[in-house]
Amino acid sequence: MAAAHSEWLLKASDGSPLVDPRLGRAYHVLDPTHPDVARFLTDLFRGLRKDGFTYFKLDFLYGAAYEAARHDPAVTGTQALRLGLKQIADAVNPPGKPEKAFILACGAPLMPIVGLVHGARTGGDVGVPQMEDGKAGPPHVGFPLILSMARNQAARLFFDRSLFAIDADVVMAPAPQLTPDEARVMITIGALSGGIFMLSDDLETLPADRLALLRNPNLLGLVGGAAAEPVHLFSAPEREAQDHWFAFPQELPPLWVRRDADGGAVVAIYNWSDSARPYRLHFSEAIGTDGTFSVADLWSPRRGGRTLGIKRDSLRLKLPPHSVRLLRMKAVVAADQP
C-alpha cells in the first residue's frame, strides 16, 4: 500500500513518508485528511462489519496525531485522529441506527478519542511476546508491568463509564513467569477495574492450579461492577515527572476500596514491595467508619469466600511480597452479633 499510494501517507518535513519513530521497524502512517484514505477506511470497515464482525480493536492510533505534513494542512494532529476514528465509527455503526459494534481504542491519547470509542486501553501492554530477530522471545510479563498496570488504573480511573470503558489490559496467570501471588494481584486489578476483563493465557495448556485462579467465582463475581478506588492516592507522589513504563512500589497506594450501597465494601490490600510486610487495616480508613464487620477472604475458592469472623474497628494482616488480600466486609448490626 505504501508503495502504491505514497500520497496516502503522512509526510516528514523533507516530503518523504513519515516513519513512526516509536517502532523498531519502518512503519508509515495513513493520512485521514486524504479523501482516498477516507474512502479506504470506510470501505474496509464497512466490509468487515458486513462480514459479521462486531468487535474492533484499533491499535497504534497515536500515529494519526503526529506533527506532519497532511493533505489538508489546516487540520491539526488531534483533529486528524478524530477524523479517522469518525470515519471508522460511522462505517461500523452507521449514524441513526442502533450501535451493534464495539470499538476499543489502544495506543491512543485518551481525551481526543472521547465520544468516538466505547472502550480504551489506559496503559501499556502487560502480556505480549517480545519479537527478537523475527522470533517470539520470552513473554513480556512480570511484576514491574503489573505495577505499571496498577499505576495507570489509579491515574485514569476517572474515565471509566463516564467517558468510555476502561481497558487495564488482560489478566494472566502464567507459570513460571508469575508466582501465584503475583497472578492474584494481576487478576484482582482487572476484576476491580470496573471495565473490560479479558484473559490472555493459553487455557488449554495452563496448569490446573493457575486455571483455578482465573475461574475463582468470587473474583469473577466482581467483574462488571463498580471500580475499586485507591485510598490516599496522592500520599506517595511520583518520584519522576517523566513518562516511564514501570512504577516504583512505594509510589502505589496499598489500599483500594469498592464501597457497596449497604455500607459494606470489597477491600483490596496490596503489598507492592519485594519483602513481606504487616498491614493494619483500619475500618474507618476503608469504610469511612469504625464498627463491627463480618470479613471474608474472597481469594478462597469457596463461593462467597472463607469467613474470617467478626472483626471490630481494625484487622491485622501479614502480606507476602508481591501479594494481595481481597476481603468482603459487611456491617454487623447489634442483633446479629454473637
Q: Pick the range with the lowest mean pLDDT from 75-79, 189-193, 206-210, 238-242.
A: 238-242
Whether pTM exceeds 0.85: yes
Pairing of strands 55-58, 102-105: parallel
pLDDT score, position 160: 86
pLDDT of amino acid 241: 38
Cell of residue 167, nine digits: 481497558
Q: Above pLDDT 70, what percent of the chain?
A: 89
Burial bucket for residue 225 (CB in 10 Å: 0-12, 13-18, 19+): middle
pLDDT for the residue numbered 242: 41
Better pLDDT: 112 or 232: 112
Residue 238: pLDDT over 50? no
pLDDT band at 128 (very low <50, low <70, confident <90, very high): low
Average pLDDT over residues 174-183: 91
* Of 317, 316, 259, residue with least CA distance to 289: 259
Burial class (CB in 10 A: 0-12, 13-18, 19+), 185: buried
62: its cell numbers: 497515536
Measured between alpha carbons, how far is residue 151 from residues 87, 122, 124, 140, 246 in Å? Answer: 33, 10, 11, 18, 9
Dihedral (Cα; 276, 281, 287, 289), 10-degree rounding:
-160
pLDDT tens track for 277-310: 999 999 999 988 889 999 999 999 999 999 999 9
What pLDDT does 264 receive? 87
The pLDDT of residue 67 is above 70: yes
Per-residue pLDDT reduced to its tens digit, 39-59: 999 999 999 999 999 999 999
Beta bridge partners of 330: 294
Backbone angles phi, psi at 11, to 5 degrees: -115, 140
184 contacts: CB under 8 Å, gap ≥ 6 = 213, 299, 323, 324, 326
Residue 241 or 149, more confident: 149
Evaluate if residue 141 carries a pLDDT over 80. Answer: no
- Structural element, H or E, at residue 81: helix 77-92
